[in-house]
A = this chain, B = another copy of it.
Amino acid sequence: MAVVFSHCLYHPLSSSSSSSSSYVLAVSLQSLLKLSRPRVLSVSASTTPSQIMDLHNKGRRKFIEFPYVSAPHKKLMVDLVSMLDSRFDSHLLPCTLPPDVQYYQNQSGTSHASLHIRSGHVSSPIDFILGSWIHCQLPNGGALNITSLSTYLNSSTDSPNFLMELIRSSPTSLVLILDLPPRKDLVLDPDYLQTFYEDTKLEAQRQLLEKIPEVRPYFSSSLYIRSVVSPTAILIRIESENVERMEEIIEDHVGPVAKQVLQLWLDKCASEKREVAEIERDYLQKRDKLVRTKTIEIDLASSLPRLFGPETAERVMAAVKEYFSG
């Protein structure tokens, strides 16, 4: 099955980090506005800090529930979210998306979704971090489940982003997209290729999964998405004989590789300082903006209305655009 719907979203806080998040949230809305970049906050200006915190915590609980996926699938997602939390919690602002964007469903109640986006503190290299899950009942009685997690750095650095998406169109089927998408033209910048893709040995991670007998290559139907990913991108489709085998593959193979790739991103992309010249920043901003705009167009614009109806789709897309076009 082609990617029916593949936006890439994320939630930030693990359950163990409520005390530090409370600290971050114990600030006035005015302070929040100062801390964040000039992005329109989705909550109204009269919202109190405790209301923001409630909103954030409620959305976060819903997000890390991952209520429709199997135990190993949920564990993997929660582990990845925790890895980001332990590194970045104090650098992230609370999620200020409206409640009906943090969690939404279609009229008939057959499609459900959670969306969690947190901006980075103004001093952080993180623009925002985004997570989501989507569950849609299929006409054949089965269900489509997508969970995703992605990070977007700002133009203070040119390091790659992180992107992961798990798409399950049945319990024995999995499409995995796992990559550190580059933010420059690799053909024009062999040093960048060397630093982030050769020296990090990302290819070895790709090869680990390639060796699994059930693994086949996955080609996105969008040529633009194929152009956006790196040469070591993990783009695979797995069809297993039974559910148990699929869960085993997720637990023993996909999980360790996904964690290793995220760890590489944390150590090499999100932490190391890189000098970015002024002219280079303009280029980065232009390229980042184009990638985000095209991603929304490809991933959301066609599928959201179909799965959730036009009104909900419009509401969610408007909220996402605030971040993506910022």
Contacts and interface: CB of A to CB of B under 8 A. Distances in A.
A142 B54 CA distance: 71
Contacts of A287: 185, 187-188
Interface in A173-204: 185-188, 190, 193, 197-198, 203
A69 to B, nearest CB: 28
A240 to B, nearest CB: 20
| Most chain B CB atoms below 10 A, which of A226, A227, A286 | A227
A279 interface: no
Contacts of A227: 186-187, 193, 231
A232 B226 CA distance: 9
B193 A224 contact: yes
Interface string A216-240: 0100000110111001100000000
B187 A228 contact: yes
A188 B182 CA distance: 12
A40 interface: no
Interface string A58-78: 000000000000000000000
A281 interface: no
Protomer copies: 2
A268 interface: no
A22 B201 CA distance: 53
B185 A224 contact: no
A65 B188 CA distance: 37
Interface residues of A, number: 22
A290 interface: yes
A165 to B, nearest CB: 18
A227 B229 CA distance: 10
A239 to B, nearest CB: 16
A294 interface: yes
A35 interface: no
Contacts of A294: 190
Contacts of A43: none
A190 B217 CA distance: 24
B231 A187 contact: no
B185 A187 contact: yes
A186 B186 CA distance: 11
A190 B224 contact: yes
A291 interface: yes
Contacts of A228: 187
Interface string A159-172: 00000000000000
Contacts of A226: 231
A203 B223 contact: yes
A186 B294 CA distance: 12
Which 10 residue pairs of A and B lie closest in terms of their CB atoms, listed nearest first? Answer: A226-B231, A185-B185, A186-B227, A223-B231, A217-B217, A227-B231, A187-B227, A197-B223, A187-B228, A188-B287
